[in-house]
Copies of this chain bind each other. A is one copy, B any other.
């Protein structure tokens, strides 16, 4: 079951963008700094390697009581018993993932249009990753930026929690939260910083202040 509060500061991993630091070390620093949810993305790993890394990262997320979400791979999510699965538009159809995920696995879906958002909500998505809000180099397949207006439009069209992704950083996080999203998803804004823990802590403070203001 998804607790929407866990979406506040959502780290998506990326081996390239973490500047060569081991993914376990990077995740531990990030959750110690205040990340509330971790999505493990391993686009180049073999299945066996992904499985082993997922178990290693899970040892950290469990210690910090932070949900672990597996990107794309339902088999890995089920095999390690992750809390969530995140799928994009070129992954398994949500209906198939939903059917196989049972009652405990929550599922998030990446969308960039109101239609995709409504389709995902209708098919049973637990939350939406919406973006790219701003232009970003982190995801080659992120498409054109939708801006704050695009984000607000999708947010208003659905009843499930929305996480903003794509170019969100300390300078714009408060404005992004102002659209009523449940949180922000960050890759390079945390992983590519020299001090991962400090970067996470700084973002978390901004988000907590934005949430306090309402």
Pick the contact of A74: B75, B90, B91 (CB < 8 A).
B75
Q: CA separation between A72 and B47, bound complex, in Å?
A: 7
Contact pick for A90, options B47, B73, B76, CB 8 Å: B47
Closest chain B CB from A136 CB (angstroms): 20
Q: How large is the interface on A (under 10, 10 to 19, 20 to 34, 35 or more residues)?
A: 20 to 34
Select from chain B the residue with minimum beta-carbon distance to A74: B75
Main secondary structure of the interface of A (DSSP, over half): helix
Count of chain copies: 2
What are 23 sample pairs from A and B whose C-beta atoms fall under 8 A apart? Answer: A46-B90, A46-B91, A47-B72, A47-B87, A47-B91, A47-B92, A48-B90, A48-B91, A48-B92, A49-B90, A51-B92, A51-B93, A51-B96, A73-B75, A74-B75, A74-B78, A74-B79, A75-B78, A75-B92, A76-B92, A78-B100, A79-B97, A79-B100
User: Interface on A for B, CB 8 Å cutoff?
Assistant: 46-49, 51, 72-76, 78-79, 87, 89-93, 96-97, 100
A-B pairs, 8 with minimum CB distance:
A75-B75, A74-B75, A79-B96, A46-B90, A48-B90, A47-B91, A47-B92, A78-B100
